[in-house]
Structure 1
């Protein structure tokens, strides 16, 4: 116990031990330099009577024994001594004192062998030995008072914030495995990012240049194709990902039970054609409502946050009515988006008369008919004009040609006819193209999320540039249908801007796997909280005029602080993976650097084959198709009106 009595007793023992060391040294001086003491008249019979018998002790038999005994007692006394700690004491100073002192202390024995007057020998021997003794005393005292502070050693707290990560390679028939290197207490160790359950959804984040595509997405594509996944890839900057898909398919297509075909929807450079409004895939009117909502919100992104408003829902209902009319008319022969666009441009009088011939959409079209009949033209324009203006942006011969064809069906995970589909966008025209591609995604989503289909991977690069109605529902329900959804975003704020706060929060919180590079602000804070806290060592020092106090403790702190996420290098990622009952992962959180074999990737890319030209289209053919769609609508109007008026 730290009581005053105990401290005083310890002090007395220390002082006595040091006094004993000095006493042994003094006795040794008296015995070894006795002739000099006689000459100087410093000998006394009483002292001789006491000390001369001591000379027969083993410790005084040799000079070396005496000096070692005195030195050992000195060390013992210093070990138990207390002194004020001082961080200014340098190790070099202690080393010099101890080294010089030890040499001087032991080499002074040579003076006892020289031929000089006894007094001279005694003065030299005693003086040099005392100097050495004092230097040793000073050096060792400084050693026990030296304060070794490590508080500034790890300035950025990297070692303290490191934690064990998964070092096992865990594979299954669905997994994506990324090799990585991480730091644990200053040591570099190999690890793996094991996404063994991609069906729980994966979010890939990171600012531009953080390495999302190069370090992560390319491996999702190649590994999933290698494992027999059908695939939908949204390629925002065509053909960055499409080229990887094409060459991976050339390499691994033989591993599929049924060899898949690759299809590319490119609205700028026409490759394949597909009708996102295939009539046989639209089972009931709710499918038309979803498609209408997708295309309208894709064209007017600000409407996403205003869903439910009168002037947002009215255009959606209007387009839904047109879609369902075309689906029902002649068994959906004209059910394409270009026909919807052209039909929406028809004069109200003829259009309403035509649409009213379909009983299922009467409830949708009645508010517009009522406004027209009551001559509420301003209200009618407000309800419909926004739809017509938005759709007019899609009135392009090339878009019409792609959207009205039927090269393949959109059930990409059909086991009998598996497909790998790439949707190509252009960043310079992303607002218009993104709306059309959103419609393709919406329709594919409806078809892939079914029972007894082939496993499917849906990868969306720059996800906020499209509008995916029901993405949260897909992630939540598609797990049992073996649909893996991967979303790549730059930042949570970007997701909030394009999808609204509520939808963005749902997406962020519903995904099971997260891989994030450098991000800042709210994104970094939310992720830091999600990754949780670890036990970290804390050290503090208090120095006052009498004593120095050092305290060490542990406390829970963030494993990956927001500031660290904001300063990640390219290729460095943090995140968390999800497991399943058959493959438990105790260490889910990671902070590491993904290891790409750069030379191998460069070699592989240099051998990539370019995506072949699918079709060589005559511009005249595109214009003929464009005009044909317009003529189809005129014919529909004329036919329906004729039947109505005759009836």
Structure 2
């Protein structure tokens, strides 16, 4: 009994030790990855509904699939895919035809419109998204405005209206930097760093100077940049302004003159000056076409500070991409800057499909720093290779890391598939192995053993085989007790009601477009009128920035502008007027 008792005690001890090791959680696991199921989706739904009910500007939820609500207004559509905490950024990746726009981006925009959020949408394939969204928003009481240079339905956005006055060097620098970087990208040009930086500085100075002149717009800036002997004219204009010898007391302020300091230091090197001016002139020369001038010259009618039921769509004319992309990128950049630097009472949806077609230098800051300000950013791109080509590797990874919610469709790219697979991690899998042995008097014997192994949750090859609409979705709402952002593998099915709404909006677009064209504020679309306006601005620029008459810089005599210089009106404050949301009641007959 003594030996048997020792053996039984040893067996019991081993059993207890095994149970203790098993109870220590996952410390013995060889892989800890897992996927979401019904419980995780239920938790995401519960949190999203709470956020929808609270309606806070910095705690926002959206959904894919229209919601049905009860009499108390509470959502009761369990089939919708709920995404809480979208203010933490949403990245949607998928190659052409994978379903990222139709299955994810457009449904999220429609959800924001259903919730009454103001929205700013970039439409790369204009009017591709506009057709699906404009009538849908108008029927829900939205004031819809479109800025699409080259199209008759476009509003006017004078970029210089983003500057408070001629001394607003910071805003001028932002405008110059975004315009020039996007021009370099759209034209696939590479420039010497010195001339690129000097071109930015000169563009900034020209914008500041034009802001203080009659007719402050990009046409005036282009006219100034086209003057011969520009350094000498700037110096002479400064001297005559201080003497009070220019029309209506016009003068160059100290801060504007200081912005030209680099150009003035180079004045003795004609070739260098010509190179710097040529670098800055490349951007402005692309805009000088009648169909484009009419959308960025004149009084701004595009709402800049968005609130309530307002939808602004920035459309890109791909036929004129090289000229239009820098302008659209600048307007988008400045609009977001104006909206996130003030205290908001409601969230703002920023939706940018095909992100790599624009260069937005502050995008990382928007994602990581402005989520608490109510900015809800939804970005779309085809694959990580495309994103890194546009934003470089480090910034592309920072952009992706700044989005807590990720919707990953078929990237059609092996590098992206490997990256996404590594991001999801590995999971444990139990492999049963059967063995058969023969020999001896007992004959053959069979045995089964279990082997614990690990494998990727989604293999790279699986990513590149995902069918249309099927994706891996990562959201902070998919959580357990001690884990969050647990991936969900799902096929997104757009509800029939949403499909019908989408078809109706596309069908109604021609009628709404005609209404938008009828109310357009563009006034310079006529070629003769555009030529006249350019000639007037060139004459005014030559009048206010005359060449020195002699070597001593004697005062210039006589005017160069027949008819005198127009009155210098006070420059408007940055930001356009907010338009009454009831303005689109005129579209009711189109529905």
Task: Indicate how the Cα distance of structure 1 residues 204 and 629 shifts in structure 2: closer, same or farther if over 3 A, else same.
Answer: same
**What do residues 519-566 of structure 1 show as CA deviations (whole Å, max 9, x unaligned)?**
122222222222233222223345555555543223343222222111
Instruction: Give the Å deviation of 1:593.
Output: 0.2
Alignment-derived partner of residue 487 in structure 1: 379
After superposition, residues 84-123 of structure 1 pair within 5 angstroms as none
Equivalents in 1 of 2:319, 2:83: separation in Å?
A: 34
Equivalents in 1 of 2:293, 2:186: separation in Å?
A: 25
Alignment-derived partner of residue 386 in structure 1: 279
Alignment-derived partner of residue 66 in structure 1: none
2:34–2:487: 8 Å Cα contact kept in structure 1?
no
Instruction: Give the Å deviation of 1:370.
Output: 2.4
The reply on whether 1:346 has 2:227 as its aligned counterpart is: yes
Instruction: Give the Å deviation of 1:618.
Output: 7.8
Equivalents in 2 of 1:213, 1:584: separation in Å?
A: 33
The reply on whether 1:368 has 2:250 as its aligned counterpart is: no
The reply on whether 1:419 has 2:310 as its aligned counterpart is: yes
Match of 2:313, SS?
A: strand
Alignment-derived partner of residue 408 in structure 1: 301
Alignment-derived partner of residue 346 in structure 2: 454
Alignment-derived partner of residue 517 in structure 2: 615
Alignment-derived partner of residue 275 in structure 1: 158
Q: Which moved more, 1:241-250 or 1:221-230?
A: 241-250
1:229–1:456: 8 Å Cα contact kept in structure 2?
yes
After superposition, residues 316-335 of structure 1 pair within 5 angstroms as 316-327=200-211, 329-330=212-213, 333-335=214-216
1:322–1:344: 8 Å Cα contact kept in structure 2?
yes
The reply on whether 1:251 has 2:251 as its aligned counterpart is: no
Instruction: Give the Å deviation of 1:251.
Output: 2.9
1:531–1:589: 8 Å Cα contact kept in structure 2?
yes
Any unmatched runs of 5+ in structure 1? 1-159, 181-189, 254-259
Alignment-derived partner of residue 199 in structure 2: 315
Task: Indicate how the Cα distance of structure 1 residues 300 and 421 shifts in structure 2: closer, same or farther if over 3 A, else same.
Answer: same
Equivalents in 2 of 1:340, 1:447: separation in Å?
A: 23
| TM-score, scaled relative to structure 1 | 0.65
Task: Indicate how the Cα distance of structure 1 residues 549 and 390 shifts in structure 2: closer, same or farther if over 3 A, else same.
Answer: farther
The reply on whether 1:444 has 2:305 as its aligned counterpart is: no
- In the TM superposition, structure 1's runs of 4+ consecutive aligned residues that sit over 6 Å from their partners are 302-308, 617-620
2:223–2:537: 8 Å Cα contact kept in structure 1?
no
Instruction: Give the Å deviation of 1:426.
Output: 2.7
Instruction: Give the Å deviation of 1:313.
Output: 0.7
Equivalents in 1 of 2:293, 2:466: separation in Å?
A: 45
1:322–1:340: 8 Å Cα contact kept in structure 2?
yes
**What do residues 298-337 of structure 1 show as CA deviations (whole Å, max 9, x unaligned)?**
110189998992121111011001111222x15xx53322
Instruction: Give the Å deviation of 1:435.
Output: 1.1
Instruction: Give the Å deviation of 1:633.
Output: 3.6
Match of 1:575, SS?
A: strand
Which one of 190, 204, 211 corresponds to residue 92 of structure 2? 204
**What do residues 104-126 of structure 1 show as CA deviations (whole Å, max 9, x unaligned)?**
xxxxxxxxxxxxxxxxxxxxxxx
Which one of 563, 585, 590 corresponds to residue 488 of structure 2? 590
Which of 1 and 2 has greater Rg? 1
Number of equivalences? 465
Equivalents in 1 of 2:284, 2:312: separation in Å?
A: 25
**What do residues 119-170 of structure 1 show as CA deviations (whole Å, max 9, x unaligned)?**
xxxxxxxxxxxxxxxxxxxxxxxxxxxxxxxxxxxxxxxxx98653533234
Alignment-derived partner of residue 213 in structure 1: 101
Alignment-derived partner of residue 64 in structure 2: 178
After superposition, residues 606-645 of structure 1 pair within 5 angstroms as 606=504, 608-610=507-509, 611-613=512-514, 614-615=516-517, 621=526, 623-641=528-546
1:371–1:380: 8 Å Cα contact kept in structure 2?
yes
Instruction: Give the Å deviation of 1:369.
Output: 2.0
Task: Indicate how the Cα distance of structure 1 residues 555 and 410 shifts in structure 2: closer, same or farther if over 3 A, else same.
Answer: farther
Equivalents in 1 of 2:172, 2:319: separation in Å?
A: 29
Cα RMSD of the aligned pairs, angstroms, is 3.3
Instruction: Give the Å deviation of 1:466.
Output: 1.3
Q: Higher RCO, 1 or 2 (CA under 8 Å, sep at least 6)?
A: 2
Equivalents in 2 of 1:487, 1:570: separation in Å?
A: 19
The reply on whether 1:515 has 2:383 as its aligned counterpart is: no
Match of 1:497, SS?
A: helix
Alignment-derived partner of residue 20 in structure 2: none
Equivalents in 1 of 2:164, 2:119: separation in Å?
A: 19
Any unmatched runs of 5+ in structure 2? 1-32, 53-59, 67-77, 239-251, 440-444, 557-591
Equivalents in 2 of 1:378, 1:369: separation in Å?
A: 13
Which one of 496, 499, 505 corresponds to residue 388 of structure 2? 496
